[in-house]
Structure 1
Amino acid sequence: MTECSATQNKILEIGKKEFLAKGFRGASLRGIVKEAGFTQGAFYGYYPDKAALFEALVSEPADGLMEQFKAAQQAHFELIPEDKAAQSRELSTDYLNHFINFIYDNFDAFKLVICCSEGTKYSSYIHDLVEIEVTQTELYYERLRQLGKLEGTVSRELHHMITSAYFTAVFETVAHDMTREHAIQYVNELATFFNCGWEGMLRLK
């Protein structure tokens, strides 16, 4: 490790501690620099502002999960030509377990995103996931409906509300600092509950 990378790592570590304790808005750039033992000039050699430091701490895992989530949406469409749409709930639960493990592999970053990101572009992270889910799932349901594979309907408003409740509940694992084992059990119970509701409304053939 070079002196340069050691300096940057120290800034990141102290920045993470400050953001976790005070949130992005409450965190003090001056306090971060002072605790790190550097001048503000040294800090600016790595990051132009506090927002850039926050993004450096969360962007890779947060953006990575978003891309994995988009790929999971596409995987559901791939079930249709194989006439396996009935397996969509099982596939969703499989992906959910993968996602929760990814979140716990990067727990501090997601703690920052879910609990400390007000004032950054990540403050709407759960909402952004919900929007992707609702938009892609409605296209998926319409495709199934055209094929006669779906009997029930759900309004977009209700769809959005249910999905928002579901995603918020999933990320409660992070907000409440659940252990990985507890979180996996919790999200699987949550998936069972919501899947039963969707099946009752949509009646997938």
Structure 2
Amino acid sequence: MPRDKTEAHEKIIAAAVSEFTEHGFENASMRRIASEVGLTVGALYRHFPNKEEMFAALVEPTISKLMAKYQEFCEHGYEVMKCGDVQQLWNESESETKWLMSFIYDHFDIFRLLVCRSQGTRFESFVHDMALLEERSTLDYFERMKQYDMTVNELSKQEFHMLVTANVSALFEAVIHGFSREEAMHYAETLDAFFSAGWKKILGI
């Protein structure tokens, strides 16, 4: 992890984002980053012990913010669930897509690293990991709903996994294809319309 917050450190962060964005993690060069900010390679390693820790320092703060907000959404959903209205619960969940797309574009450079430039790091399965998180959270929702006499149609585990993965992966396609923020927010509305209708039909909501 970085050892200081000096002006030099901030320059390193900016140079690292640029280097990883242009070359990807595997082809990024600590030597080029050092040269960009006017440091020796040895001096650069006093800020970060290795290339992967540098990459982690760039992306982990944003991931932590995302996970905290995701947990807030889950907790809010549990409260709404107590009303016993499946439709209201569904309407609440639909707002998440637009919020998430907006969050992605508030931190676009970081999500581009995570989605497009993380091969070779422990973050290379980020999108898949997000899909698994959404899958687990949704299944937990379904179980909790039974406590309030709310039920949905059941799917096979394989079908449910593939549909959730498709839903989550589709969101990050905006990053892969370099959509503008305006294009991405319109796309988020399209995703909501497309997947919402499908999920409602399949789940019997």
- TM-score w.r.t. the length of structure 2 is 0.91
In structure 1, stretches of 5+ residues that fail to align are: none
Partner residue, 1:70: 71
Partner residue, 1:132: 133
Partner residue, 1:49: 50
- Aligned-pair identity in percent equals 33
Partner residue, 1:172: 173
- TM-score w.r.t. the length of structure 1 is 0.91
CA offsets 1:99-150 (integer angstroms, 9 cap, x no match):
2111111110111011001111211111121111111211211333464422
Partner residue, 1:18: 19
Contact 1:25–1:118 (CA under 8 A) maintained in structure 2 = yes
Q: What secondary structure sits across from 2:80 in the alignment?
A: coil
1:201 and 2:178 aligned: no
RMSD: 1.8
Partner residue, 1:8: 9
Contact 2:48–2:54 (CA under 8 A) maintained in structure 1 = yes
Partner residue, 2:38: 37
Whole-Å Cα distance in 1 between the matches of residues 40 and 182 of structure 2?
42
Partner residue, 1:121: 122
Contact 1:66–1:129 (CA under 8 A) maintained in structure 2 = no
CA offsets 1:142-167 (integer angstroms, 9 cap, x no match):
33346442241111211111111111
Q: What secondary structure sits across from 2:81 in the alignment?
A: coil
Q: How many residues align?
A: 202
1:90 partner letter: N
